[in-house]
Amino acid sequence: MLNALIVKNLNVWYGDRHVLKDVNFSLPQNKILAIVGPSGSGKSTLLKVINRLIDLNPLARVSGSVRVLGMEVLSDGINLATLRRVVGMVFQTPNPFPHLSIYDNVALGPRYNRLVRNKEELDELVKESLIKAALWDEVKDRLHEKPVNLSGGQQQRLCIARALANKPRILLLDEPTSNIDPLSTQKIEHTLLELKKGITVVIVTHSLRQALRISDYLLFLENGRVVNYGSAEEISEVRSKAIGSYLKYSA
């Protein structure tokens, strides 16, 4: 099976600060990887490297190799628009486009990337994405309203639907449940477990409990280094060794 993600000898600097240090791991397709560790350990930086959002920081310098579905992400010749469609991203703070309707938030990417041929296909893709994000039943009669009246948890699920509408192969999520209510957190976790049937999920979380609930693989970062990495079969062992050290970082 082709690996979804292979990271080799990855190093990242912000100016003189060495943020990620010799990071190595590989992740099979259609699995959930949870990245955990204390604040400042490099978790979010790792996500930004995977879809090249790191390029937006003028102080950033990167070395090593990151391969996504066989593509070398760090190659100068890679098409960033294609990469960021294949590798979707959901951020910690919900950020739906406030000037667009709920429908148009989800439809924007497929229109831009020409993923549909007509309005009927677009309608179906918007509905399918909202269903996958566990939001359809709550907004199906409000599709042409602005998202401002949605709760924080609903807005985050809208952002997940927006990412899914681009038909990504990998979905990155940076602490997607840290600012929302427990019920929405539960719905998002269920959504991620369903999504892994068709795509690979990488989630950064401060909650070790959440990581253990939903992940197939756990990656522990501390001071920019991988201190533990385990598959599903190894999680119980990783937990027994690491839970004492990391529970203080867990919400």
Q: What percent of the chain has pLDDT over 70?
A: 92
Q: The domain at 3-249 falls in which architecture?
A: 3-Layer(aba) Sandwich (3.40)
* Ramachandran sector of residue 174 (left: φ over 0; alpha: ψ -120 to 50; beta: rest): beta
Distances in whole angstroms, Cα of residue 61 to Cα of each of 20, 55, 140: 11, 9, 45
pLDDT at 233 over 70: no
pLDDT confidence of residue 158: 97
Tally of CA atoms within 13 A in the half-sphere of 221 that contains its CB: 26
Q: Kindly report, residue by residue over 22-50, the tens digit of the pLDDT.
A: 999 999 999 999 999 999 999 999 999 99
pLDDT at 241 over 90: no
Q: Is residue 65 a contact partner of residue 24, using CB atoms and an 8 Å limit?
A: no
Q: Kindly report, residue by residue over 87-131, the tens digit of the pLDDT.
A: 999 999 999 999 999 999 999 999 998 999 999 999 999 999 999
pLDDT at 199 over 50: yes
pLDDT at 245 over 80: no
Least confident of 8-12, 46-50, 61-65, 231-235: 231-235
**Domain residue spans in the chain?**
3-249
Rounded (5°) CA angle 41-12-49: 85
Measured in degrees and rounded to the nearest 5, phi and psi for residue 217 equal: -135, 145
Mean pLDDT for the chain overall: 91
Spatial neighbors of 173 by CB under 8 A, at least 6 apart, are 89, 90, 160, 192, 201, 202, 203, 204
For the chain, give percent helix, strand, coil, nearest 5.
40, 25, 35
Torsion of CA 190, 198, 147, 210, to 10 degrees: 30
Q: Kindly report, residue by residue over 144-191, the tens digit of the pLDDT.
A: 999 999 999 999 999 999 999 999 999 999 999 988 889 989 999 999
Q: What percent of the chain has pLDDT over 90?
A: 83
